[in-house]
Amino acid sequence: MPTSIPSNGAPMGAVSPDAPAPTGTIRVWDPAIRLLHWTIAASFAIAWLSAEEIMPLHEAAGFVILVAVGLRSLWGLIGTPHARFADFVPSPGGFLSYMGALVKGRAARYVGHNPAGGAMIVALLASLLLTVATGIVLDTGGGILGEDAMEEVHGAAATVTLILVILHVGGVILSSLLHRENLVKAMVTGRKRA
């Protein structure tokens, strides 16, 4: 868990709100992270919308998600510094203390993922994997649960994933407002204020 990231010598969370940044940006998210992020986002949207309607597209989107989650996990072990899970996955205590600070509006700014974002990444990837896994079993007849029950489980897993996506987007907006930066843009350009 990153306990202190010096940002221009200022204490964490004390970055001036209107500090001009164009020259002070650094590359945080490497191209692989950004490509995988938006691939998963687009594929989940496609899979959600095509469910029970356009099955070949639905299944293709599921397989793209499976490969992307696998690559993201691998990159989480051997990738660039801010891509590595060790950089951002919090301990339970670290997560709780960050959430405590967040509700008081005093959450520290992180150049990489903050602890809540880090926990969300693990939850999202795990939920996506569970959704894909139940989808594959459903496609082969539902396994030991049978088709009807498996259909419910697959649908529930997808719904859990959607809820996590909504929380994830909410967290991104909250963090962006709190630290006066556009985190969505950062996931496109890869660059953030130092």
Under a CB-based contact definition with an 8 Å cutoff, are residues 72 and 35 in contact? no
Question: Residues 42, 89, 160, 172: which binds other proteins (CB under 8 A)?
Answer: 89
Question: Residues 90, 161, 179, 181: which binds other proteins (CB under 8 A)?
Answer: 90
159 binds other proteins, rule: CB under 8 A:
no
Cα dihedral 67→62→159→102 (10° resolution): 30
63 binds other proteins, rule: CB under 8 A:
yes
Output the 3-class SS for 60-81: HHHHHHHHHHHHHHHHHHHCCH
| Residue that the structure tokens 């719904």 belong to | 159
Question: Residues 61, 76, 108, 186: which binds other proteins (CB under 8 A)?
Answer: 76
Distance CA 61, CA 174 (A): 29
Question: Residues 11, 24, 81, 141: which binds other proteins (CB under 8 A)?
Answer: 141
Distance CA 150, CA 54 (A): 19
Amino acid at 37: H
Number of residues near other proteins (by CB under 8 A): 34
- Closer Cβ to other proteins, 113 or 193, answer by number: 113
Separation in Å, CA 104 to CA 37, 126, 178: 29, 29, 11
21 binds other proteins, rule: CB under 8 A:
no
Minimum distance of other proteins from residue 90's CB (angstroms): 7
Distance CA 103, CA 109 (A): 14
**Segment interacting with other proteins (CB under 8 A) among 23-31, 63-71, 97-105, 155-163:** 63-71
99 binds other proteins, rule: CB under 8 A:
no
Residues within the interface to other proteins (CB under 8 A)? 1, 55, 63, 66-67, 69-70, 72-74, 76-77, 84-91, 118, 122, 125-126, 129, 132-133, 136, 139-142, 147-148
